[in-house]
Structure 1
Amino acid sequence: MKTLAMWTQVQMSHTTVMRCVRAVGEAQEKQDQELVIQAENGELDGKRQPNFLFAEADGTFVRGLKKRQHIEIKHFILYEGWVKNGKRRLLKEPYAVMTSKGLDTFWEQVGAAVEQRYRLWQTQVVANSDGGVGYDEAHFKDAFCGSHKRIWVQLDAFHVAQSLIRSLHGDKAWITRIQQAIQRKDRTEVILLLDTYESNLDEDERIKQVEKVKQYLIGHWDRLFDWREIMAKETLPENAGRLGAMESNQRHLTFRMKKRGMHWGESEEGMVKVIQGIRNGTLKAAYLSSFIPTKRDERIIKKMIRIASLLKEPTVPSIGAHRGRIGTNASSSSAVGKLNKVLTFA
């Protein structure tokens, strides 16, 4: 608003800006939901057929207006690999899905986005998540059910390291030994190290934390390892790297929606969809298309016109105005006589 006032003649209040954000975000949301409907009707037919497709999903929390209220923003990124940019690697053909709505809506939009862009018959899908509620292996397999190859879902290395740091209270020596055992794929040694560490604890709370991380690691053992170690080296894409792009891509949300005393109410979904549209380069087209009926709406309108044309009654030709008068053969005290008297005086 300060920029507008300084460099242009336009002045806008905070409320007007919020309404604009909500209006533009709703246009992007409408487009996403239209894709979901088309996917349910089998109307989407993606064309891209990459050898590898990578996906990551996670959530981040922003503050709500109510006391101690936290709103989860679900975030999904899809990309086809990496390209070199000097010493850095950038994601190839990235595409994001973001929403503050429920997990069912989130994964419906993810599935629709995948169907719109890709034909996955012979594509190897590799996914990455922390394995938390709503971001587990089953959801990824449902979203990429079009692939006839095994969908490999690994645990995010960052979240594995964080779980060890929290449970072992930052004990670097023990954390390093456990991580080295994981790298050697020595499951027995990992269990032995955690049991040994647990046996030296006295506090029940810390013992529960160690048991929890042990269940987490052993329960997801096959998903702890880098995907490049599983695939044949000759099939790996060019510039293949470790998964974990989600943590850096979360900044698109966190830089705009967290810290600086920010609290979000009804406008949070609009802002999320605006960020998604800018990230994907679809925001302008989505907003402009909101003024044009969708193909589905056009079909409904045409159907209504056809029905109306069938039910329309034929026009009766006009035979001109009729002239007449009320007969005077009735007594003036009768109803007809009184009516005639009124009309005559008028």
Structure 2
Amino acid sequence: MKVIDERKLKDKFIVGTEKDFYRNIKKYDESMIPVMKARGYTCIRSAERTVAFTFGEFCFSRRKWKRGSEWYSPVDEWLGLDKNSRYSKELIYQIAELSTMMSYDHVVKVVQMMYHVKITKPTVIKTVKFAYQLRNQYEEYQYYQEEVKKKDKIKADIIFVEGDGVFLRILDEENKAGYRDFAHFVIHTGSKKIEKNRWKLENKKSIMSISNRHAREMVLDYLYQNFEITENTILITNSDGGHGYTPYVFKEFAKVLGIKRHEHFWDEFHVYKEIDQMYKGYPDDLKNKLYQSIQTHDKKLLRTVLDTTESLLTSAEEENFSKFSKKFLRNFQYTKPLELRGFRYLPIGIMESQHRKITYRMKKRGMIWSQTGAESMTNMILLSKSGQLRKLFFGEWQKEYQEYKAAEELTAATIKVRQNHIKKDYQFYSLKKRW
């Protein structure tokens, strides 16, 4: 018996889908005739429109109605179609979701193979840019919202914040590729075992931006809006101490939020990595004693080991070791083991694993990104991994955001009209030179 070609079978089902689609469009369009007339609209004409959906591309006709200067198409609203868009919102969302997993070229192939819809690479790029605009609007929307009620805020004895940078290749204004540091912060309230050898961070929130300052501002905003801070709240922070992630950055978080107890850790992985690199070629006894000084938090022993090492240096090694020595003496307080701080276990040192979801998609095959593309993709990946990307595209926040903007424009227009009818008497203060 000859086996049927599944592709041909699928084509037959697609034909059936087309018939059902057209039948439903016609039925809904006709059902809206008495409704539209009751609302005072007049049917002007029927117009064709071609739109690609997740179930295929269709050219369909629907009635266009008018009331005064207002045009309206019930079918377009029913299908959730934006004006002049050739793609449905669901297809645009799925293109965005796919782009977080694979290259733009592969997205084009997958959409054509799975949806029987032809798109181009520029379509994928346009979708990513659209996601960037949505993300900016959502960020602005959060500022419009009223303060979260205290009872709705997260109650946690300990809040964890970690930060580190991810280097991505970005095109500058002159179209030259260079590495830029993307700030990455992760907030959570601890970890929970979900299966054998697998843990999940609770109340996790990842924040990324090409601007370290902007990322820090978003961290503070998120903590303030979503956490209930009390006298007993403890802030645990962890970083490698690099530029933008020094202890003082995290101390600022505690200060602004009014958190009395703040424990900062110099990331253990990076501490031992620096020791191993510096003491390569030196006696193991020295390295082991340096380990011991950290594990027992003995600064006197640390000084002894550093002084002993210094006596073994060549002139070529002195400058490098001097930097290493000063760094360890300056930041020694942040190497204090968690047991000596009164903790049995802390889920810290997570940044390398959190970076992986970004680097897996964005650093392979010599990828180079525009700044906007990189900003959009990093945040789309974070939203996708947390199951929030659909909310960005379809959430109720969009309707509320438009209402906020409309109210803001109305208020601004009213103020402008009033100001034009008010006699103004400005008072200027003289400025004294201070140089």
TM over 0.5, shorter chain: yes
Q: 1:148 aligns with which of 231, 254, 259?
A: 259
| Structure-2 separation of matches of 1:98 and 1:137 | 19
Tell me how far apart the structure 2 counterparts of residues 221 and 308 of structure 1 sit (CA, whole Å). 58
- CA distance in 2 between counterparts of 1:28 and 1:153 reads 31
**Based on CA coordinates, which of the two structures has the bigger radius of gyration?**
1
User: Of the candidates 59, 83, 93, which is equivalent to residue 192 of structure 2?
Assistant: 83
Q: Distance in 2 between matches of 1:195 and 1:187?
A: 12
Letter in 1 for 2:130: A
Aligned pair partner of 1:260 in 357, 361, 365: 365
1:215 aligned to which of 326, 330, 345:
326
Which residue is 2:304 aligned to? 192
Shift of 1:78: 0.8
CA shift for structure 1 position 33: 4.3
Q: How far has the Cα of 1:79 moved from its partner?
A: 0.9
8 Å CA contact 2:268–2:335 kept in 1: the answer is yes
Give the whole-Å Cα distance in 1 for the aligned partners of 2:270 and 2:201: 21
Q: Which blocks of at least 5 consecutive residues in structure 1 are unaligned?
A: 312-346
Distance change (3 Å), C-alpha of 1:32 and 1:183: same
Within the alignment, does 1:19 sit opposite 2:126 as a pair? yes
TM-score (normalizing by structure 1) = 0.77
Q: Is the 8 A contact 2:295 2:337 kept in 1?
A: no
Match of 1:283 in 2: 389
Please state if 1:120 is matched with 2:229. yes
CA displacement 1:210-238 (0-9 Å, x = unmatched): 2112111111111102334313x5xx6xx
Give the match for residue 74 of structure 1. Answer: 183
List aligned pairs for 1:241-260, cutoff 5 A: 241-260=346-365
Alignment of 1:125-204 (within 5 A): 125-144=235-254, 145-169=256-280, 171=282, 173=284, 174-204=286-316
Quote the residue 2:113 is aligned against.
6
Change (3 A) 1:44 1:131: farther
Shift of residue 30, structure 1, vs aligned partner: 2.9
Name the SS for the 2:131 alignment partner: helix
Give the superposition deviation at 1:306.
6.0
Change (3 A) 1:135 1:172: farther
Q: Distance in 2 between matches of 1:44 and 1:278?
A: 24
**CA distance in structure 2 between the partners assigned to 1:225 and 1:305 by the alignment:** 58
Deviations 1:59-93 (CA, angstroms, capped at 9, x unpaired)? 01011245561011111111111111323332122
Once the two structures are TM-superposed, the CA of residue 108 in structure 1 deviates from its matched residue by 0.9
Task: Determine whether 1:269 maps to 2:375.
Answer: yes
Distance in 1 (CA, whole Å) between partners of 2:139 and 2:264 is 25
Instruction: Select the structure with the greater relative contact order (CA < 8 A; seq sep ≥ 6).
Output: 1
Q: Indicate whether 1:110 and 2:222 are aligned.
A: no
Distance 2:144 2:217 in 1: 11
| SS class of match (2:208) | strand
In the alignment, is the contact (CA less than 8 A) between 1:165 and 1:171 conserved in 2?
Answer: no
Please tell me the residue identity of whatever aligns with 2:134: A
Equivalent residue letter for 1:18 = I
Aligned to 1:327: none
The one-letter code sitting in structure 2 at the alignment partner of 1:212 is K
Q: Distance in 2 between matches of 1:308 and 1:58?
A: 45
Q: How many residues align?
A: 300
The more displaced of 166-175 and 186-195 is 166-175
Deviates more, 1:281-290 or 1:17-26: 281-290
Query: More strand by proportion, 1 or 2?
Result: 2
Match of 1:299 among 404, 407, 416: 407
Q: Distance in 1 between matches of 2:161 and 2:357?
A: 17
Give a deviation string over 1:235-285, Cα, whole Å, max 9, x none.
x6xxx3351011111101111111211111131111112112223333222
Q: Is 161-170 or 6-15 further displaced after alignment?
A: 161-170
Deviation at 1:3, TM superposition (A): 1.8
Matched with 2:7 is none
**How far, CA to CA, are the matches of 2:323 and 2:215 in structure 1?**
28
Query: What amino acid does structure 1 have at the position aligned with 2:311?
Result: S
**Hey, what's the Cα distance between the residues in 2 that align with 1:213 and 1:38?**
47
SS in 2 for 1:189: helix
Query: How far apart are the structure 2 equivalents of 1:90 and 1:147?
Result: 28
Q: Which residue type is aligned with residue 393 of structure 2?
A: Y
Q: Partners in 2 of 1:246 and 1:98 — Cα distance? A: 12
